[in-house]
């Protein structure tokens, strides 16, 4: 059972020590990592993915429940408590979606087959282009693949820690993803340039020059700002989906959407 992960400071890109003492993330928390391009966001979550022990370019160390993780947890994929999904994550196996999920469920010792269709249904909430159970995973689009893998990480994968690297650019409905995962007991970390995701997370880690510069907690004003932004985002999303479907944007359509 994983209750916390702790990130101990390493070095910034110039070799200076990071200024925070330690950073503990707790089960049930959503965290966003923000910062300019090249500021070290991906390096930060990669440290968590690798359960770094001072052996990456940043020199950070990761603790699980306050302790150094065993080699078995670090190196045995079946024991690994972390799922990381990036824009480039792909499935390389000649199986249908349903077969792919069945194998994963079996590997996780889940015998109830209902989880397979539940996973496909959940994935279909995240993507506009519905996934068919018989579609081969190699031909799924980028957005479909990410949607499937996120649903798989939530329902089939036992991973209590999910790392999502810039999924907003990946053709999935981020609001649905946030809604589902904020009610889980997992630690979810988003690397993001998206203001809605950043404001909806409970904690926000700000990166600069390869180092953690600040850690902010969600406050009342930002929560309200997020709600307004979300409305705006839904409207943009509505228009985006219409354009993707090849529709024309008419006055009536705008009135429906913006009413
Ligand atoms: N603390 C560090 N020490 C040394 N190198 C670092 C450190 N942090 C990041 N880097 C290196 O700097 C480069 C850029 O970092 P990274 O890819 O993590 O940035 P990013 O914020 O994710 O950028 P983008 O928004 O463009 O994806 C990478 O080569 C990474 O390995």
Report pLDDT digits (tens) over 125-159: 888 789 999 999 999 988 899 899 989 988 888 78
> Which has the higher per-residue pLDDT, 94 or 40?
40
- Is residue 35 within 6 Å of ligand 1 at its C-beta? yes
pTM of the model: 0.86
Q: Which atom of ligand 1 is nearest to the CA of 10?
A: 1
Query: Which single residue is written with the structure tokens 């690798």?
Result: 50
Kindly give the distance from the C-alpha atom of residue 247 to the centroid of ligand 1, in angstroms, as a whole number.
40
- Is residue 47 within 6 Å of ligand 1 at its C-beta? no
**Of 186, 124, 121, nearest to 157 (Cα)?**
186
pLDDT of 258: 59
With bands split at pLDDT 50, 70 and 90, how would you rate the model's confidence at 237?
A: confident
Q: Regarding the domain delimited by 1-81+159-218, which CATH topology (the fold level of the hierarchy) does it fall under? A: Rossmann fold (3.40.50)
Kindly give the distance from the C-alpha atom of residue 170 to the centroid of ligand 1, in angstroms, as a whole number.
20
d(CA 150, CA 39): 25
Domain ranges within the chain, ordered by starting residue = 1-81+159-218, 89-157, 220-259
Kindly give the distance from the C-alpha atom of residue 192 to the centroid of ligand 1, in angstroms, as a whole number.
14
Q: Would you say residue 252 has pLDDT above 90?
A: no
- Is residue 9 within 6 Å of ligand 1 at its C-beta? no
Q: Would you say residue 122 has pLDDT above 70?
A: yes
Q: Which atom of ligand 1 is nearest to the CA of 43?
A: 18
Q: Residue range 93-117: average pLDDT?
A: 90
Helix, strand and coil in the chain, % to nearest 5: 40, 20, 40
Q: Would you say residue 176 has pLDDT above 90?
A: no
- Is residue 80 within 6 Å of ligand 1 at its C-beta? no
**Of 163, 137, 181, 144, nearest to 46 (Cα)?**
163
């Amino acid at each position: 059972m994983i209750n916390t992960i702790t990130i101990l400071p390493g070095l910034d890109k110039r070799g200076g020590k990071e200024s925070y003492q330690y950073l503990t993330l707790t089960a049930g928390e959503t965290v966003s990592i923000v910062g300019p391009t090249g500021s070290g966001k991906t390096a930060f979550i990669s440290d968590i993915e690798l359960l770094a022990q001072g052996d990456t370019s940043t020199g950070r160390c990761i603790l699980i429940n306050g302790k150094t993780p065993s080699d078995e947890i670090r190196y045995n994929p079946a024991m690994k408590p972390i799922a990381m999904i990036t824009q480039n994550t792909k499935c390389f196996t000649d199986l249908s979606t349903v077969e792919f999920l069945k194998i994963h469920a079996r590997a996780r010792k889940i015998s109830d087959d209902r989880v397979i269709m539940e996973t496909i249904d959940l994935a279909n909430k995240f993507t506009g282009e519905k996934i068919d159970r018989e579609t081969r995973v190699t031909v799924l689009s980028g957005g479909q693949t990410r949607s499937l893998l996120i649903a798989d990480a939530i329902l089939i994968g036992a991973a209590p820690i999910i790392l999502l690297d810039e999924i907003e650019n990946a053709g999935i409905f981020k609001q649905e993803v946030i809604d589902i995962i904020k009610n889980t007991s997992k630690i979810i970390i988003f690397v993001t340039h998206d203001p809605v995701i950043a404001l909806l997370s409970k904690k926000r880690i700000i990166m600069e020059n390869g180092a953690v510069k600040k850690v902010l907690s969600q406050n009342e004003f930002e929560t309200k700002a997020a709600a307004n932004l979300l409305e705006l985002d839904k409207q943009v999303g509505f228009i985006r989906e219409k354009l993707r479907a090849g529709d024309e944007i008419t006055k009536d359509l705008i009135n429906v959407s913006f009413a």
